[in-house]
Amino acid sequence: MTTYAAPGTEGSIVSYESRYDHFIGGEYVPPAKGQHFENPTPVTGQPFTEIARGTAEDVERALDAAHGAAPAWGKTSVAERATILNRIADRMEANLEALAVAESWENGKAVRETLNADIPLAIDHFRYFAGAIRAQEGGVSEIDGDTVAYHFHEPLGVVGQIIPWNFPILMATWKLAPALAAGNAVVLKPAEQTPASIHLLMSLISDLLPPGVLNIVNGFGVEAGKPLASNRRISKVAFTGETTTGRLIMQYASESLIPVTLELGGKSPNLFFDDVASAHDAYYDKALEGFTMFALNQGEVCTCPSRALIQARIYDRFLADATERTKAVKQGHPLDTETMIGAQASNDQYEKILSYIDIGKQEGARVVTGGEPSDLGGELSGGYYVQPTIFEGHNKMRIFQEEIFGPVVSVAKFDDYNDAIKTANDTLYGLGAGVWSRNGNVAYRAGRDIQAGRVWVNNYHAYPAHAAFGGYKQSGIGRENHSMMLDHYQQTKNLLVNYSENKLGFF
Amino acid sequence: MTAERVAVTPAAADLLRNLADTHGPLMFHQSGGCCDGSAPMCYPAGEFRTGDSDVHLGELTVDGIDPVPVWMSASQFEYWQHTHLTIDVVPGRGSGFSLEAPEGVRFLIRSRLLTDDELRAFGLA
């Protein structure tokens, strides 16, 4: 067991600067209006650094830098770009522990997750796209004996990316790695709740990229995000967040006629068929862990398995065992490696979760366990902690229909296969789902019948590169985490070439 | 009886007055989905284009400024229609492009079940 010292305190392996400006054109530049805002850690609620409060002027400056860099960057060889991405990954790997501690302090998540998931996945992601861009092929199509259609991939140019706060470094990497691999210059806006850790990453890697290829403008959505998303000088915008902002970004994109990729969340069902409990073996134990995955990252995951649907024949027994497993989730200081669940990322998130617990109780859902905030005492009393919570109810309740984005699972029973699929699909969203069955035929059919972009079968919450991730229905547009993402950041250039010496004879 | 689906707390009304001073007439669109989903998003009136896929839930009456319309997508309304919504405000960082975030506060929805009288008034009982 280890408890890491807080960043910047004695004995810590990592320190944040006391202030971060914008990273534009390869250097740090102060915000045009000279304003900064405080950035608190959700671990204690206390500020630990301050961040530039960007405005449209700063976005324009970043776009100037990006447009200056994009033409040359887009013409670099794929070998050169892949080498840079691999070097970024190597630097991150050499500093994995420091990045993991810094990310935990920034976001409030347990350090065992950043050590074993967030940062290793981000490292692998850069390496994956370094490989993917090297292996990408264009096309040669023989139209007739004299005519050939060549298809080339070309970068879009300058793209805008707006990053969420639940996995600040990993979600930035999901967007950056394919965009850079494809030869684009980027203007990126981190979430205002978690703006600092990307700058710690930049302190390790900024010398590897030509100036202007990656620019980071901090600030609030309305002041910095909107001038970026609505800008006529970007060729694409990528956003992870919620539906209203997703629609607004599409409106802006429609004015510029540019493409968007959107990842807008879900309300993911996790289905447990009755054969799960046919033996009390390692598989049953794994299924109970699969249920408890709703508490991973404090539930702040777009694919949180927040609706557990359990077949009636095993319902009582399975829920009792799953409740016992949930009660064993250890909540504590996020920098303690034994801690399984840390702090919610911000005060407003904490308040929102409690408001959902309130409406759940009003609607008549039964609290099986949890249902209250946690006061962990000492300096943690100022942080934002919520008990892992299990509700029992039915699928029409609002806690079954809305992404609470907290450690809250809503449980209902189903009678048979058709009932399970009907309930699973009775949602506005279609991002993730889980299917648990020892019967391969049932698991396969359920996986195909659930309207979601990612269905985990006999596992949950794995995010390896090379497995496409994205939503059906209102969960968004586009896919991440796969080489097909390169297409989202590339134009197709068709060169149609005629090799005949003879005229057509029309004129 | 006349029933309302939406209301606003005094603290949120004060904030709306301040925001209207800076930004002019205002509107809300209730979000769904992840991250800052389920949060009411406040925009200058007309910034967010509503259409046939949206439901107008009502207008917030705040002294001194124009009524503030509150919207939600019709598909989301299917699941929310049995609840009354009060827009409140809490300290926070906010996100999305909602106008209040730079003030260090965040609008928040507080919900309650509609009463039997209200359900009848809306034709739901």
Number of domains forming the structure of chain B = 1
> Is B79 within 8 Å of chain A by CB?
yes
pLDDT, position A1: 74
Tokens of B61: 């009456």
Pick the closest to residue A403 from A503, A497, A266 (CA basis): A266
Q: Tokens 């023989």 correspond to what residue?
A: A142
**Rounded alpha-carbon distances, angstroms, from residue A481 to A132, A172, A461:** 11, 12, 14
Return d(Cα A403, Cα A385) in angstroms, integer. Answer: 18
Q: Going by DSSP bridges, is the β-strand pair B26-30/B6-8 parallel, antiparallel, or unpaired?
A: unpaired
Residues B98-112, buried b or exposed e (16+ Cβ, 10 A)?
bbbbbeebbbbbbbe
Looking at the domain covering A28-264+475-490, what would its CATH class be?
A: alpha beta
Pick the closest to residue A172 from A229, A180, A76 (CA basis): A180
How many angstroms separate the CA of residue B41 from the nearest CA in chain A? 7
Tokens of B25: 């007439």
Q: Is A97 a catalytic residue?
A: no
Q: Is the pTM of this model over 0.90?
A: yes
Write down the ipTM of this complex: 0.96
Return d(Cα A459, Cα A462) in angstroms, integer. Answer: 7
**Rounded alpha-carbon distances, angstroms, from residue A198 to A188, A190, A214, B106:** 10, 8, 12, 24
Pick the closest to residue B32 from A473, A294, A377 (CA basis): A473
Question: B41 and A245 in contact by Cβ < 8 A?
Answer: yes
Q: Where does the pLDDT of residue B94 fall: very low under 50, low under 70, confident under 90, or very high at 90 and above?
A: confident
Most A CBs within 10 A among B9, B15, B29, B35, hence the mutation to make, goes to B35
For residues A261 and A238, is the Cβ–Cβ distance under 8 A?
yes
pLDDT, position B1: 61
Task: Quote the strand ranges of A426-480, DSSP E.
Answer: 429-430, 432-436, 454-457, 472-473, 476-477
Return d(Cα B36, Cα A352) in angstroms, integer. Answer: 9
- Chains A and B form CB pairs within 8 A to the count of 162
Same fold, A28-264+475-490 and A269-457: no
Find all residues with CB under 8 Å of A280, minimum gap 6, and list them: none
Find all residues with CB under 8 Å of A144, minimum gap 6, and list them: none
The chain A residue lying nearest B72, using CA atoms, is A244
Mean pLDDT per 10-residue interval, chain A, length 507 residues: 94 98 98 97 97 98 98 98 98 98 98 98 98 98 98 98 97 98 98 97 98 98 96 97 95 96 96 98 98 98 98 98 98 98 94 95 97 96 97 97 96 98 97 98 98 98 98 96 97 98 96
How many angstroms separate the CA of residue A210 from the nearest CA in chain B? 30
For A52, the enclosing helix (H) or strand (E) is strand A47-52
Domain extent listing, chain A: 28-264+475-490, 269-457
Task: Provide the H-helix boundaries in A328-413.
Answer: 347-362
Find all residues with CB under 8 Å of B44, minimum gap 6, and list them: B23, B24, B25, B26, B27, B99
Residue A235's φ and ψ, nearest 5 degrees, are: -100, -5
Most A CBs within 10 A among B34, B82, B85, B87, hence the mutation to make, goes to B34
Q: Where does the pLDDT of residue B35 fall: very low under 50, low under 70, confident under 90, or very high at 90 and above?
A: confident
Tokens of A198: 């990307």
Most B CBs within 10 A among A51, A222, A359, A477, hence the mutation to make, goes to A222
Tokens of A341: 């669940």
Return d(Cα A238, Cα A481) in angstroms, integer. Answer: 14
How many angstroms separate the CA of residue B36 from the nearest CA in chain A? 6
Whether B100 maps to a domain, the answer reads yes
**Amino acid making up residue A191:** A
Q: Where does the pLDDT of residue B36 fall: very low under 50, low under 70, confident under 90, or very high at 90 and above?
A: confident
Q: Which chain B residues are Cβ-neighbours of A37 within 8 angstroms?
A: 102, 104
Q: Is A263 a catalytic residue?
A: yes
> Is B81 within 8 Å of chain A by CB?
no
Catalytic residue, from A50, A302, A304, A480: name it: A302
- What CATH number is given to the structural domain containing B31? 2.60.300
> Is B42 within 8 Å of chain A by CB?
no
How many angstroms separate the CA of residue A300 from the nearest CA in chain B? 7
How many angstroms separate the CA of residue A483 from the nearest CA in chain B? 24
Tokens of B94: 């906010």
| Burial (Cβ within 10 Å: 0-12, 13-18, ≥19) of residue A137 | exposed
Report the CATH number of the A269-457 domain: 3.40.309.10
Nearest by CB to residue B95, choosing from A221, A264, A363, is A221
Whether B56 maps to a domain, the answer reads yes
Question: A244 and B48 in contact by Cβ < 8 A?
Answer: yes
Whether B89 maps to a domain, the answer reads yes
Q: Which chain B residues are Cβ-neighbours of A472 within 8 angstroms?
A: none
Question: B41 and A193 in contact by Cβ < 8 A?
Answer: no
Which pLDDT tens digit goes with each residue over B61-93?
999 999 999 999 999 999 999 999 999 999 988
pLDDT, position B92: 87
Return d(Cα A82, Cα A90) in angstroms, integer. Answer: 12
Q: Which chain B residues are Cβ-neighbours of A399 within 8 angstroms?
A: none
| Burial (Cβ within 10 Å: 0-12, 13-18, ≥19) of residue A12 | middle
Whether B1 maps to a domain, the answer reads no
Find all residues with CB under 8 Å of B120, minimum gap 6, and list them: none
* Domain ranges, residue B98: 6-121
